[in-house]
Chain A
Amino acid sequence: MRLEAQDLAIGYPGHLVGRGIALALEPGEVLCLLGPNGAGKTTLFRTLLGLQPPLGGAVLIDGVPLGDLAPAEIARRLAYVPQAHVTEFSYSVLDVVLMGRTARLKAFASPGAADERIALQKLSVLGIAELASHDYTKISGGQRQLALIARALAQEAPILVLDEPTASLDFGNQALVLARIRELAGEDFGIVLSTHDPDHALMVGTRVAVIADGGLRAIGPPAEVVTPAMLSAIYRTAVLVEETPSGHRVCVPAWESG
């Protein structure tokens, strides 16, 4: 299952946000989108998911343009994990995950016992099975994010698109979510995720794409793309990329010491 953007122009009627965007995602890849605020990461996501039409170019799944697919057909191929939010109504966590089964149900059907089993299994995979009957609006932000990932898994779509899945999570929850993402990549999901933190791109990305200045600045392996020069340019502040004694690469702002 291949997700592709061909010469994509994104934005809103009368307002071009980015153009000339070309990227492709294969199973087992984790593509991280990096970029400053306002660069268009969310717009790109919405275009990739078919939530808004491209201003030019095309998004293809296995060669089929998104515009040719019905919402349910797209949902069986692409699963969206938005940033963890609070719903208006107090659904249970299980209800939230069950909503992921919608694309697999017939028009007038409601989820049945088999769907519940799948939903519970996805919750187990993410280690939060015990939260099934809890009120979704009352669990922690990290748990909500995991529940939304479980919902996306319940769609049984081979490609996951995660919009800043670690935003507003504490350090521990961030590590938890990133670990799960790595596990999923190991199971041959194709994953696109956007992040504000270049460290995360270094931790989980197999490829990194930089969205800045109205287009795709760079795309390639993390070591090649996440460089001091690139980071300093897109975030407009001096950044160092250093290797820790344990072999991890981390990004730090280049402040004067002392």
Chain B
Amino acid sequence: MRRGVFLLLLVLLVAALALALAVGPYPLRLADVIDTLVRAFGGERGAPTAGEIVFGRVRLPRVAAGLLVGAALSGAGATYQTMFRNPLVSPDILGVATGAGLGAVAGILLSLPVVGIQALAFAGGLATVVLVYLIAAALRGHDRTLVLVLGGVVVGALAGACISLVKIMADPYDQLPAITFWLLGSLAGVKLGDLAVAAPLVLAGLVPLALYRWRIGVLSLGDDEARALGVDVRRLRGIVIAAATLMTASVVAIAGVIGWIGLMMPHIARMLVGPNFARLLPASMLLGAAFMLAVDTVARSLARVETPLGILTAVLGAPFFLWLLARGRQSWG
């Protein structure tokens, strides 16, 4: 049954992929796709057709970005939900997305080029989590997990306040719209170059999570029991936070703040494959990638102007959560 579920998730992903590739303002034909691939492998055929350009320069990077962002956010969410023993936790619990947001809006305020904005976003995300971790380390004698969460709430709130400050200081005609759109998330501006940097970073975060998957699951029993079972809780927690932060900061830097995916997808994945982290992690990532593609396809097609992803994920997320609550607690685990 378990294996069947993963097959189903793969089919779902492929379907979302096919849909994402096909749907769009410019109608693509299969020939365009094939020609682009042939050209990529060196088969020259004269100048590329408009279809190939659309596919190679616009559609493909966007779809690849959707896969990466969806998988990274869901993987990070599944990790934090397991580590913090709480199915209501999002990848932003330690403030990485809010911190990245602050870095990005500061970059927009300073009129930096896109690369600068992305770099500041990445740095902001990492710096926020480092700050939270240092606060937790300084406050000894308290439940470390609780202090991490509270630290994340506090630092996240501070970062949020700073974002509001930046919004006030920004130029209302040029910069403020850019800030608003960035904070709502979009895959429209993602280029292959961005992916070339973000993808290895996400992979770098994923590797330790995959290697330590059993022990991360043991962490969900609580610090005392995990330690008594032989897990070096402090060390593993540091590794896990670093890995999840790397994954989240990388994708937030290129796509903006996209909420709810990191919270919802691990939930659904847990209902499908159970809480065992070795299964939860890949299932969350598959589901997250498929969902991100589906949402982005809708975002591109809903209206003449692109709908920011953050709006769509929230509109879909809130009712979903109510439905989960209505179903009762037994569906969460």
Contact = CB atoms under 8 A, between A and B. Distances in A.
Interface of A: 12-13, 46, 49-51, 70-72, 74-76, 78-80, 82, 87-92, 95, 99-100, 102-103, 105, 107-111, 137, 151, 155
A82 to B, nearest CB: 6
A80 B225 contact: yes
B87 interface: yes
Contact of A137 (B140, B231, B333): B333
A78 to B, nearest CB: 8
B230 interface: yes
B230 A89 contact: no
A87 B220 contact: yes
B232 A71 contact: yes
B156 interface: no
A246 B229 CA distance: 41
Interface stretch (B19-27, B93-101, B127-135, B206-214): B206-214
**Which 8 A-B residue pairs are closest in the complex by CB-CB distance?**
A103-B230, A75-B230, A89-B275, A90-B333, A80-B228, A72-B230, A110-B214, A108-B211
Contact of A102 (B82, B141, B218): B218
B140 A51 contact: no
Given A71-B232, A99-B229, A89 B333 contact: yes
B141 A88 contact: no
A180 B224 CA distance: 24
A108 B106 CA distance: 40
B86 A88 contact: yes
B214 A75 contact: no
A82 B212 CA distance: 24
A87 B274 CA distance: 13
A91 B276 contact: yes
29 contacts: A12-B141, A51-B224, A51-B227, A71-B230, A74-B228, A74-B230, A76-B230, A78-B228, A79-B228, A82-B225, A87-B221, A88-B87, A89-B85, A89-B87, A90-B274, A91-B274, A99-B217, A99-B221, A99-B229, A102-B230, A103-B229, A105-B214, A107-B212, A107-B215, A108-B211, A109-B214, A151-B229, A155-B229, A155-B230
A75 B221 contact: no
Contact of B215 (A74, A78, A102): A102
A219 B227 CA distance: 29
Contacts of B225: 80, 82
Q: Which range contains the number of B residues in contact with the other chain?
A: 20 to 34
B187 to A, nearest CB: 32
Given A99-B218, A107-B211, A109-B214, 19 more contacts: A71-B227, A71-B230, A72-B231, A75-B228, A75-B229, A78-B228, A79-B228, A80-B225, A82-B224, A88-B87, A90-B275, A91-B275, A91-B276, A92-B274, A99-B217, A99-B221, A99-B229, A111-B214, A137-B333
A75 B231 CA distance: 9
Contacts of A71: 227, 230-233
Given A12-B141, A90-B274, A51 B228 contact: yes
A151 B215 CA distance: 15
Contact of B141 (A13, A50, A70, A109): A13
Contacts of B212: 107-108
Nearest to A80: B228
Contact of A72 (B87, B221, B232): B232
Interface string B84-125: 011100000000000000000000000000000000000000
B54 to A, nearest CB: 43
A85 B97 CA distance: 34
Given A89-B270, A89-B275, A137-B333, A102 B231 contact: yes
A230 B213 CA distance: 50
A240 B86 CA distance: 47
Contacts of B220: 87-89
A88 B85 contact: yes
Contacts of B190: none
B9 to A, nearest CB: 20
Interface string B222-257: 001101111111000000000000000000000000
A13 B140 contact: yes
B278 interface: yes
Nearest to A49: B228
Contacts of A49: 228
